[in-house]
């Protein structure tokens, strides 16, 4: 039996769009739709703006759109910037189990290629689905040790997904796909240490750009080793103490990991979803008055405390992983969108006051990660207890199409009000029927 990398490459090379189940196609379209939305929301973030200014100075022939920008860039640079924008708020999709954000490094690559050469929407969707599948399966094989060790798995696995998606779209053969994965293995990177800092986007952007280049290099004959993934000094063993290579291709083509991919209702750490749900529910209770809140206690899975017990925050980025801020903003404003996790929201006196009243983040191992409990004590001594059993956006309660459309519209309005977002949304929603996927990107550039 040939090696793991070779088997993956054969699967990708041989996959036909007809082989992709309807449920998988539909999820792929929604993932891309959601990703365009988060990119529109993220494009005006300072990190993305600064990266665009620096990298733009070295862009080659400007054929590829950065979502929401007037200006175009060369395909690798556009892929970098779109990946960075898609992920900058951590508002993009999340694969259950690995916490990979799979769309950010993969979708920008197929759309950059679709502006260089004509591909149908179905071809682009197909390549995207395969890229996401490979990234998430690699993540399964090295989770949780890989992330725990300090690898930012979105970037480190995402580059392989980007390489696979580009390879499929470019029509590379089996051996060239092995090479593309080898070239990706030589560039896989991204550190958890950078999370909460602009440098996070350097890793995620690099995954898209370098994954695309890995496939282009393979097409150009740049050969890699035969076993970059499973070899003795290959990706799995080097970046994980106890990898499970068998998980990479188990039930490949019958079980689809993309179906374990979740869309986020709120632009913050996924552990905060049930907390925000509970706050929004509390706020809508009869007689609730934010002015009377004396203290708030949150209880949840140990991961909630580990990832998000952060009482002192000074930036929007920090607020994204602060239970204290999430509670304050959702209780006081009744919303939890991009504007609610901005630097301005963090500095809003109405929010800081309540943030200081969130006494502690309690831990209960019996509470699953999708659930949380809230105890609000009011100034008159009365209390309200709210429990969220299954957070919005979890596998058990996914966002529905209407919620996804509303999220898209809100993000477009927040980050790129000059764009005709409805037209873009309409086009993305029927991606698989488009004769020319590149046309989507024309709709992603504002008119002026």
Residues in contact with a second copy by the rule CB under 8 A: 46-47, 50-51, 53-55, 57-61, 74-77, 149-152, 155, 179, 182-183, 185-194, 196-203, 206, 210, 213-214, 216-217, 219-225, 227-228, 231-235, 237-238
207 versus 410: smaller Cβ distance to a second copy: 207
**Residue bearing tokens 């179905």:** 122
Question: Which tokens in the block code for residue 362?
Answer: 């309690």
**Residue bearing tokens 């949304």:** 425
Q: How far is the CB of 315 from a second copy (least distance, A)?
A: 10
125 versus 313: smaller Cβ distance to a second copy: 313
Q: How far is the CB of 37 from a second copy (least distance, A)?
A: 24
294 φ, ψ (degrees, to nearest 5):
-100, -40
164, 177 Cβ separation under 8 angstroms: yes
Pairing verdict, β 372-378 and 293-300: antiparallel
Q: How far is the CB of 239 from a second copy (least distance, A)?
A: 9
Strands in 279-420 per DSSP E? 293-300, 358-363, 372-378, 383-388
Q: How far is the CB of 376 from a second copy (least distance, A)?
A: 34
Angle at 22 between CA 262 and CA 41, to 5 degrees: 35
Question: Which tokens in the block code for residue 372?
Answer: 């949380």
Q: How far is the CB of 114 from a second copy (least distance, A)?
A: 16
Bridge partner residues of 272 (DSSP): none
> What 3-state class would DSSP assign to 236?
helix
What is residue 136's DSSP assignment? Answer: H
* Sheet with 293-300, edge to edge strand ranges: 358-363, 293-300, 372-378, 383-388
Q: How far is the CB of 170 from a second copy (least distance, A)?
A: 12
Residue 294 and residue 301: Cα distance in Å, rounded?
24
83 versus 331: smaller Cβ distance to a second copy: 83
237 versus 244: smaller Cβ distance to a second copy: 237
119 versus 235: smaller Cβ distance to a second copy: 235
74 versus 348: smaller Cβ distance to a second copy: 74
Q: How far is the CB of 423 from a second copy (least distance, A)?
A: 30
What is residue 266's DSSP assignment? Answer: S
28 versus 243: smaller Cβ distance to a second copy: 243
C-alpha Rg value of the chain to the nearest Å: 22
């Amino acid at each position: 039996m040939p090696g793991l990398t070779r088997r993956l490459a054969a699967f990708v090379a041989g996959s036909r769009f007809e082989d992709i189940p309807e449920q998988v196609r539909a999820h792929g379209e929604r993932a891309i739709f959601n990703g365009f939305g988060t990119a529109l929301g993220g494009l005006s973030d300072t990190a993305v703006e600064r990266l665009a200014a620096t990298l733009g100075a070295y862009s080659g022939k400007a054929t590829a759109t950065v979502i929401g920008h007037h200006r175009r860039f060369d395909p690798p640079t556009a892929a970098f910037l779109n990946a960075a924008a898609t992920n900058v708020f951590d508002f993009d999709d999340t694969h259950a189990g690995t916490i990979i954000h799979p769309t950010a490094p993969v979708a920008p690559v197929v759309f950059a290629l679709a502006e260089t050469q004509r591909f149908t929407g179905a071809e682009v969707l197909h390549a995207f689905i395969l890229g996401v599948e490979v990234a998430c399966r690699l993540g399964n094989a090295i989770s949780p040790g890989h992330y725990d060790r300090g690898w930012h798995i979105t970037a480190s696995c995402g580059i392989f997904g980007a390489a696979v998606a580009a390879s499929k779209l470019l029509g590379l053969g089996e051996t060239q796909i092995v090479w593309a994965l080898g070239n990706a293995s030589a560039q896989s990177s991204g550190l958890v240490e950078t999370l909460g800092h602009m440098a996070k986007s350097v890793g995620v952007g690099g995954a898209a750009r370098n994954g695309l280049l890995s496939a282009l290099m393979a097409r150009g004959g740049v050969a890699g080793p035969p076993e970059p993934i499973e070899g003795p000094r290959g990706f799995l063993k080097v970046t994980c103490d106890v990898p499970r290579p068998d998980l990479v291709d188990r039930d490949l083509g019958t079980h689809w990991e993309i179906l374990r991919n979740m869309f986020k209702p709120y632009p913050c750490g996924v552990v905060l979803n049930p907390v925000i749900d509970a706050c929004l529910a509390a706020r809508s209770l009869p007689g609730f008055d934010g002015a009377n809140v004396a203290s708030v206690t949150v209880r949840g899975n140990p991961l909630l405390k580990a990832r998000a017990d952060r009482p002192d925050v000074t930036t929007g980025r920090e607020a994204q992983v602060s239970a204290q801020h999430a509670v304050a903003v959702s209780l006081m404003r009744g919303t939890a969108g991009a504007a609610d996790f901005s630097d301005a929201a963090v500095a809003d006196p109405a929010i800081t006051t309540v943030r200081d009243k969130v006494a502690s983040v309690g831990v209960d191992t019996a509470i699953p990660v999708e659930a949380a409990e809230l105890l609000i004590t009011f100034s008159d001594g009365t209390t309200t207890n709210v429990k969220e059993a299954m957070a919005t956006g979890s596998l058990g309660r996914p966002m529905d199409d209407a919620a996804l459309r509303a999220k898209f519209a809100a993000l477009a309005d927040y980050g790129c009000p000059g764009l005709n977002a409805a037209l873009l949304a309409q086009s993305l929603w029927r991606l698989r029927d488009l004769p020319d996927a590149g046309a989507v990107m024309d709709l992603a550039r504002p008119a002026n």
